[in-house]
Amino acid sequence: MKQYHKFNFYRYTYCEFEMKNVDFFKDMKAHFQSKSGSYYYYTEEGVFRYSNHWGRVANCRWKIKGIEGYKNQKYYVGFANWSDFYPLNDTDKVFYLTVDFENEHAKICRIQNDKGAKLFLMTSEMAHQKLKSAQAVFKDTKWMKYLNGDLKTIQKKVIEELISTHKSLQIIKVEIRQELTLS
């Protein structure tokens, strides 16, 4: 497994930072300031980051835990251990989606060690495409109104199929339409 440190953590990595007190940098001098205005403070254990942009950061995917309704331009401080960084590439299938149907929310997760044995694993690119499709199913229910069945049940069936197969949303919609119009 690749070892990350202050000289390589910002190159094609995935990481979930722990949210810290926004006043962390108040009395600290940052070790580095990026062109976009983010501040970084390095320790032996990891890195603190003060920034107003999370998610896609240059060639990385960095999230900050504890913020579901994240808004750009609001500053947060996050901390990540060096061991929390993972390589981000187009070949490793290490991501999966979880869905909270009650709150109509889906999110991408990364497997930790061997916990992903029974999950449908995807590359980062595929996981983000599937996430976008799942969010679209929650927002756009017009096409479901003409089908025989409860909207929430249809929605759940479509999303469960979406996050557990290689099928596209378009193919799943066609199959569901055929299945429900025949019944």
Over residues 138-183, the pLDDT tens digits come to 999 888 888 888 899 999 999 999 999 999 999 999 999 888 776 5
Average of per-residue pLDDT across 67-75: 73
The DSSP annotation for 141-179 comes to: -GGGTTSSS-HHHHHHHHHHHHTTSS--HHHHHHHHHHH
CA angle 55, 72, 24 (to 5 degrees): 85
Centroid of chain to Cα 140: 21
How many CB atoms are closer than 10 A to CB 34?
15
Over residues 84-122, the pLDDT tens digits come to 998 888 888 989 999 999 999 999 988 876 565 688 999
- Give the pLDDT confidence score for residue 85 in this predicted structure: 93
User: pTM here?
Assistant: 0.77
How many CB atoms are closer than 10 A to CB 125?
12
174 within domain boundaries:
yes
- Domain boundary pick from 46, 70, 87: 87
74 within domain boundaries:
yes
User: Quick one: which of 59, 85, 112 has its CA closest to 2?
Assistant: 85
Collapse the DSSP code of 136 into the 3-class scheme (helix H, G, I; strand E, B; otherwise coil) and give the result. Answer: helix
- Domain boundary pick from 36, 71, 87: 87
- Give the pLDDT confidence score for residue 70 in this predicted structure: 64
Average of per-residue pLDDT across 8-37: 91
- Domain boundary pick from 69, 87, 105: 87
Domain extent, residue 178, equals 95-182
- Give the pLDDT confidence score for residue 99 in this predicted structure: 96
**Same structural domain for residues 76 and 109?**
no
Q: How many domains does the chain have?
A: 2
**Same structural domain for residues 58 and 102?**
no
Q: Residue 79 pLDDT > 90, yes or no?
A: yes
Q: What is the mean pLDDT of the chain?
A: 89
What is the distance between the alpha carbons of residues 164 and 127, in angstroms, rounded to a whole number? 11
